[in-house]
Structure 1
């Protein structure tokens, strides 16, 4: 009986999504029954009355972000939880997620939703050189022929890197980096609750003036990844071309800047993302798949990109408007 109910629910969800896409395609307004961000739908407004958080639009950051602050002072931490998307804020309200920042982080991590944990300090950023973590050159000769064994070597190298405390930044990025690193952090999820102990060495500092009259310029810290570290996680190789000083870039998995623009990515790791990931992983381990060039990844992940991005942007704009009108 439960299985039948779940199947009916899935069919209803698919029908609703198709109806939404039809409206997006034709450029007609979405009906209130399918759109809780519609001005005539009060369900989300009613849910906002029960939220246990305050949401602050932080225009001082580039790009702007939203700070999530617990209403209960007992849940205030030495760091601030920040999300880059208005849709995430609305999702917190809609689903009435938790009462503490740790509760929210647990939800974000389970769904691959991007977020940051910023530690504020009145001290200026240091000028120390960031230590190296990627010691193996990612370049390969012209004769390089990757296979399933090459992929296993890449996995071992990736796992070794993820032992660094600041590698938690990959989990916080969401999307493809989150999926590639998720299993490695299952026993260390406490690491995501606030910046790592190495944040001053492996983090990035953003400076901004205080919103009060004290005149203090604050620094916000969180762990970050270098381009080389992102390349290592995604299995990137720089393969020598046929001519001198020519290189082609291959990778087992798409870099975040490519994946985040594909039609599958809607701000969280959905079933379409997981289906694609598992199919790709099985093909690699069977020796049937090879690393792709950047252009090949863009073609492979394009799908119905325009319609999906249009719906994503529409939802983001409506969510931002809702936050400004109701939660601001």
Structure 2
């Protein structure tokens, strides 16, 4: 059959490493001579007759050179992945003065006019930027003294009750104390839930329709929602948290007739194995985006939007801003096969969408490489959440500083000057400011203490 076609109708396909017969490539006809001769020796039964021998030509078929194959393969990569235009997401940060009040409870007043205490100058402009993840242009000088005093109180570096009452709305002596009449949210009701050994706060609002799932948050987010008196429904609260990159969960209490059958992820546990010395290109990045999109496009992909941090940011970058609406819809049917269980102290468990660890690895762009030990070496385009969530970018919400870092790295990847990094290198790269984690831990503790009087 192969010899029945002229060379002009044969094409080498480097993607599959094979030759194809493509009559459409030229107008040269295939020799077809259907004869009525009944002689069985001459009857070709409708198949093309062999092409007569042709003189040797400079264009005769020969295996392509390695350089030609490599060039063609790179062209295929560019065609398939190089022009991958994922949806993208434009992050719009809330003004920092609003964040300082709603998220932290900082009262940005005027420091004492004469001889202000040392707390008002304990932290300079640069350190305040690092603690709150705010860009220099967004931090006005007039806010620096009171934010310095607030950090002194939040980090337990001040014993002055006068200063605490002046800068922190959770201090009972503060004129804007959140437990005073008219200060806390009039329609939001919080309830402490202990699930699988962790404390959460269920949020519900008066006069909103019944909802088939519950929303739970940590203590800092619960107190923030108490301050935001313009929010009057769980849907609005979810919209705010998805916009800010805050972690939360949506829980479904299964009916006794529901059946659960755990399944393994069909996507594997990473982007796959690569040889030692592997150097990724921007074409590899395009392939990674395509694989991550397939994971995030699944019903359980909404779990990434609830995760917060780097997983949340990558989900919006790959799926687009409109994907945020999936969070409001509540747990998907995938909870029956991939859901995470939350066990209360009494009663049956709750479930929410969850991504298997291997799918989180795909979203973060993890490759496996052989190593000298039994464990593979891991390289990733983006930091894994267990690294990011303890880094100098773990503010509990997405800040302008986080976005600035994200966009700068994304631009370097697109230019082909940044590639996957090992976990150890990610930890060093994301160190930034070691004071971030202690501040967030202190705020969780202080907010939980306040909520003990509310719930």
State the TM-score bracket (shorter-chain normalisation). 0.7 to 0.9
Moved more, 48-57 or 275-284: 48-57
Moved more, 37-46 or 159-168: 37-46
CA distance in 2, matches of 1:147, 1:271: 28
1:1-328 pair list within 5 angstroms: 10-21=140-151, 27-29=157-159, 31-43=164-176, 44-46=178-180, 48-72=183-207, 74-83=208-217, 85-123=218-256, 126=259, 128-135=261-268, 138-183=272-317, 184-193=319-328, 194-208=330-344, 210=346, 217-241=347-371, 243=372, 245=374, 247-305=376-434, 307-325=435-453, 327-328=454-455
Does the Cα contact within 8 Å between 1:69 and 1:76 map onto a contact in 2?
A: no
Does the Cα contact within 8 Å between 1:240 and 1:248 map onto a contact in 2?
A: yes
CA distance in 2, matches of 1:25, 1:131: 44
Does the Cα contact within 8 Å between 1:125 and 1:219 map onto a contact in 2?
A: no
1:284/1:13 CA distance change after superposition, 3 Å: farther
Deviations 1:135-154 (CA, angstroms, capped at 9, x unpaired)? 47522111421122211211
CA distance in 1, matches of 2:156, 2:201: 32
CA distance in 1, matches of 2:345, 2:147: 43
Following superposition, the deviation at residue 228 of structure 1 comes to 0.3
RMSD: 2.7
**Higher strand residue share:** 1
Larger relative contact order, structure 1 or 2 (CA cutoff 8 Å, min sep 6): 1
TM-score calculated relative to the size of structure 1: 0.86
Moved more, 273-282 or 17-26: 17-26
Give the greater-gyration-radius structure (CA).
2
Secondary structure of the 1:140 match is: coil
**Higher helix residue share:** 1
CA distance in 1, matches of 2:344, 2:438: 33
Report the equivalent of 1:213: none
Deviations 1:96-130 (CA, angstroms, capped at 9, x unpaired)? 25111100000000000001100112539855231
CA distance in 2, matches of 1:26, 1:209: 33
Does the Cα contact within 8 Å between 1:115 and 1:173 map onto a contact in 2?
A: yes
Moved more, 92-101 or 269-278: 92-101
Moved more, 135-144 or 294-303: 135-144
Secondary structure of the 1:45 match is: coil
Following superposition, the deviation at residue 260 of structure 1 comes to 0.8
Secondary structure of the 2:253 match is: strand
